[in-house]
A and B are shown apart, each in its own frame.
Chain A
Amino acid sequence: MFFHIVLERNMQLHPRYFGRNLRDNLVSKLMKDVEGTCSGRHGFVVAVTGIEHIGKGLIRDGTGFVTFPIKYQCVVFRPFKGEILEAFVTMVNKMGFFAEAGPVQIFVSNHLIPDDMEFQSGDMPNYTTSDGSVKIQKDSEVRLKIIGTRVDATEIFCIGTIKDDFLGVINDPTTA
């Protein structure tokens, strides 16, 4: 799920950026630093959307670096148990398949794949129904439901299922 929240961060700026566009430099460095990171508490920071407030800089003794406390708005993405996501399949093996929904990695184990789909090994390992109408392989798009999340300090990993109504392949690259 996506959230728009306000976060705070202390930015350290090198003295060489001091000048007319100190503020711009500060913001671009902030974006470079936080976008794409993941915290267990808030999830993945997708994008910084605005600056709320930049506090007074504090020169640090000995280095000349200046620390600015910054409040900024950003979009974060945090997966939850029970959430439905659309994801790209990245890898298929006999244990199941891995998929990605943006920054999140999701594993769907083979017993959470519908019973009528069977693993086909080979050059392009895939899960196929007996009549061959539905196929899950690398780069397929699937809709899945998250049934478990593991949230570490800097990492979020999910397991999902496609063994439910309206879940499964939504766009097959081979037929498209």
Chain B
Amino acid sequence: MALTIEHFNKLVKLAARAFYDDITTKGDNQPKSSRSDNRGIAVVVLDALTRRQWVREEDLAKDLKLHTKQLRRTLRFFEEEKFITRDHRKETAKGAKMYSAAVAATADGTQTGKEGEEKVKLHTHSYCCLDYAQIYDVVRYRLHRMKKKLKDELENKNTIQEYICPNCGKRYTALDALRLISMEDEDFHCESCNGRLEVESDKLATQEAGDGDDNARRRRREKLKDMLQKMEVQLKPLMDQLNRVKDLPVPEFGSLQAWEARATAAARAANGDGSASDSKTSLGLGQLPYNGDTKVVVDFNGGESKGEDIKSEAETQKVLPPWMIRPGMNLTKEQRGEVKQETKMDEASTSTAAQYSDDKKSAVENDDKKNIQDEFIKAYYAALLKKQQELEEAAKKQDDLSNSHTFDNPSSSAANRQVGMKSKRAEDEEDDGTEWEEAPVAGNTSENYKVSDLNVQADDAAADDEDDVDWEEN
């Protein structure tokens, strides 16, 4: 998806530079001073639109630091060119908020809109969006027409002359000639308004060069050939891009309403209210067009969350979001409470523990990542549960050494743990003597507190519990 849209965006950018580079939106009657010369605006606007989906025109204007009027003129031009679709609607402040919620969902997942206050004032808002399917067709048609026109003129024997009525603008071809001749004079006359028809002369090369002259004709031919060649060369990148895009599925945003509904739904699913079912989340994930895969991969490696450590250190004490507790099931449920307490306790003393809870925090912030995480939890939990039960049983029977061996086994499910985890494990191994005695009884923490060396014990216990939590996050 992300790749496809990249290709289409490139197409748009190429087309913009090829055809709309010197479009000025000013009327021809206005004198063009250097100040009002706004050529290139069209390209800028199109480029900006490739980075957005549906966008409110005021917002776009603000982003581009353009006057809304100027932007709207450009947009209207592109609407006529069939490059964009626009939608106008009267809406209350709330309606506008719904849109911004949708935008937030597609952008970074932070929901800013408050649903509280409501003004009944109606404003007409305009939205616009690139219409990739149409752009593809429009560009192809344009190229075809350009080529056809030049070729026709080059071998100018097979062209059918066209006539146009200057009064009513009606067009005729030479095939209508019999009906057009009038009795009074030798001119052709319009059927509807009886005006005198004029020969349509939109030919490119006929205007210059004196008529009749054989030399001039040859010059004209050469000029046309030259133009055709130049066109082939200069538009080659565009044609290549068209070919590349040919078999790709066209990115489709749908109408404004549909898009908005989808985006907000996706946002809700991503926010994960407790009742959100699995299928719903996965659906939401699929529909978020800009949830690039790359983002997710980065998250898996844990590199990104590391970066946020310092920033989010202050807010480590936030309660766990409901989505983390939901799939917790019977085993970890009691532990949850302890985890929180212990994190608070150890926060100051151990930076590692803090880091883990930080991971949690950053996960909370990145709403869109939760989708993946949610799903991953599911899959992981089955394995984790089994593992832990095994471990507990094993721990009761076996001695410390064998226990640590099972953990170190790289083929076990622990292999998927984060980078941060590994250093933690190394730490665990150093004082594994004490740790693994405690590990089986981590469930009832009352014993933890009984131990004399509170600080160390709590740390280890916390580390273990954090392990669990962290796996869930994966």
Residues on A close to B: CB < 8 A?
A: 91, 93-96, 98, 105, 107, 109-112, 115-116, 118, 125, 130, 147-150, 157, 159, 161, 163-164
Contact partner of A95 (CB less than 8 A), chosen from B175, B186, B211, B214, is B186
Q: Is the interface of A mostly helix, strand, loop or mixed?
A: strand
- B266–chain A nearest beta-carbon distance, Å: 56
Q: How far is the CB of B219 from chain A (nearest CB, A)?
A: 13
Docked Cα-Cα span, A102 to B259, in Å, equals: 65
What 6 A-B pairs are tightest by C-beta distance, nearest first? A93-B186, A107-B177, A109-B161, A150-B175, A159-B174, A109-B174
8 residue pairs A–B, Cβ–Cβ below 8 Å: A95-B187, A95-B188, A107-B175, A110-B161, A116-B212, A125-B186, A147-B157, A147-B158
Quote the shortest CB–CB distance from B291 to chain A (angstroms). 56
**Distance in Å: Cβ of A58 to nearest Cβ of chain B:** 40
Residues of B within 8 A of A95 (CB): 177, 186-188, 199
The verdict on A159 contacting B160 (CB below 8 Å), with A107-B174, A116-B212, A148-B175 known, is yes
With a CB–CB cut-off of 8 A, which chain A residues contact B176? Answer: 150
Cβ contacts under 8 Å, B157 to chain A = 112, 147, 161, 163-164
Q: Mark B151-178, 1 if CB is under 8 A from A, else 0.
A: 0000011111100000000000011111
User: Contact between B175 and A159 (Cβ–Cβ < 8 Å)?
Assistant: yes
Is A107 within 8 A of B178, CB to CB? Answer: yes
Contact B217 A105 (CB under 8 A): no
Contact B212 A115 (CB under 8 A): yes
Distance (whole angstroms) from the CB of B153 to the closest CB of chain A: 11
Give the Cβ gap from B179 to chain A, nearest Cβ, in Å: 9
Query: Which residues in B have their C-beta under 8 angstroms from that of A116?
Result: 212, 214
Bound together, the chains give a CA A96 to CA B176 distance in angstroms of: 13
Q: What residues of A have a CB within 8 angstroms of the CB of B187 in the complex?
A: 93-95
Q: Given contacts A157-B178, A161-B158, list 19 more A-B pairs with CB under 8 A.
A: A94-B187, A95-B177, A95-B187, A95-B199, A96-B177, A98-B181, A107-B174, A107-B177, A107-B178, A110-B161, A112-B161, A125-B186, A147-B157, A147-B158, A148-B175, A149-B175, A150-B175, A157-B175, A159-B160
Q: Which residues of A contact B186 (CB under 8 A)?
A: 93-95, 125
Expressed in whole angstroms, the Cα–Cα distance for A157 and B177 within the complex equals 9
**Whole-angstrom distance between the alpha carbons of A103 and B272 in the complex?**
81
The CA of A162 and the CA of B115, in the complex, are separated in Å by 77
Q: How far is the CA of A105 from the CA of B161 in the complex (A)?
A: 17
Classify chain B: how many residues form its interface, as a range. 20 to 34
Q: Which residues of B contact A148 (CB under 8 A)?
A: 160, 174-175
| Distance of A24 Cα from B181 Cα, bound (Å) | 43
Report Cα–Cα, A93/B211, bound state, in Å: 19
Would you call A159 and B212 a contact (CB within 8 A)?
A: no
The answer on a CB contact under 8 Å between B161 and A111 is yes
Q: How far is the CB of A160 from chain B (nearest CB, A)?
A: 10
Nearest-neighbour CB distance to chain A for B424, whole angstroms, equals: 83
Measured CA separation A94–B163 after assembly (Å): 13
List of A residues within 8 angstroms of B160 by Cβ? 147-148, 159
For B156, the closest partner residue in chain A by CB is A111
Residues of A within 8 A of B177 (CB): 95-96, 98, 107, 109, 157, 159
CB distance from A75 to the nearest CB of B (A): 24
Query: Across the interface, which residues of B come within 8 angstroms of A96, CB to CB?
Result: 161, 174, 177
Complex Cα distance A41/B63, Å?
A: 63
Which residue of chain B is the closest to A117 with respect to CB atoms? B212
Q: Which chain B residues border A115 with CB–CB below 8 Å? A: 211-212, 214, 217
Closest residue on chain B to residue A114 by CB atoms? B212
Residue of B nearest to A159 (CB): B174
Q: Which B residues touch A157, using CB under 8 A?
A: 175, 177-178
Contacts of A107 in B (CB 8 A): 174-175, 177-178
A150 and B180 CA atoms in complex are apart in Å by: 15
From B160, which residue of chain A is reached at the shortest CB distance? Answer: A148
Q: With A and B bound together, what is the CA distance between A147 and B173 in angstroms? A: 13
For residue A163, which residues in chain B have a CB less than 8 angstroms away from its CB? Answer: 157
A161 cross-chain contacts in B, Cβ below 8 A: 157-158
Cα–Cα distance between A112 and B188 once the two chains are bound (Å): 17
Given contacts A115-B212, A116-B212, A163-B157, contact A91 B175 (CB under 8 A): no
Query: Are B212 and A105 in touch, CB under 8 angstroms?
Result: no
Chain B residues contacting A149 (CB-CB under 8 Å) are 175
Instruction: Find chain A residues with CB under 8 A from B175 CB.
Output: 107, 148-150, 157, 159
- Contact of A118 with B181 at beta-carbon distance under 8 Å, contacts A109-B174, A125-B186, A150-B175 already known: no
Flag B185-217 by CB within 8 Å of A: 1 or 0 each.
011100000000001000000000001101001
Q: Which of B156, B157, B181 has the most CB of A within 10 A?
A: B157
Least CB separation from A160: chain B residue: B174
Alpha-carbon separation in the docked complex, A69 to B158 (Å): 44
Closest to B159 in A: A111
Q: In the bound complex, how far is the Cα of B214 from the Cα of A125, in angstroms? A: 24
For A110, list chain B residues within 8 Å (CB). 161
User: Nearest chain A CB to B173's CB is how many angstroms away?
Assistant: 8
For B188, the chain A residues whose CB sits under 8 A away are 95
A98 to B177, CA, bound (A): 9
Residue of A nearest to B161 (CB): A109
Q: Which residues of A contact B178 (CB under 8 A)?
A: 98, 105, 107, 157
Q: Which residues of B contact A93 (CB under 8 A)?
A: 181, 186-187
Across-interface contacts of B158 in A (CB, < 8 A): 147, 161
| Docked pose: A149 CA to B175 CA in angstroms | 7
Closest Cβ of chain A to B350, distance in Å, is: 89
Closest-by-CB residue of B relative to A150 is B175
State A93–B181 Cα separation when bound (angstroms).
Answer: 10
Residues of B within 8 A of A147 (CB): 157-158, 160
The complex places the Cα of A115 from the Cα of B216 at a distance, in Å, of 11
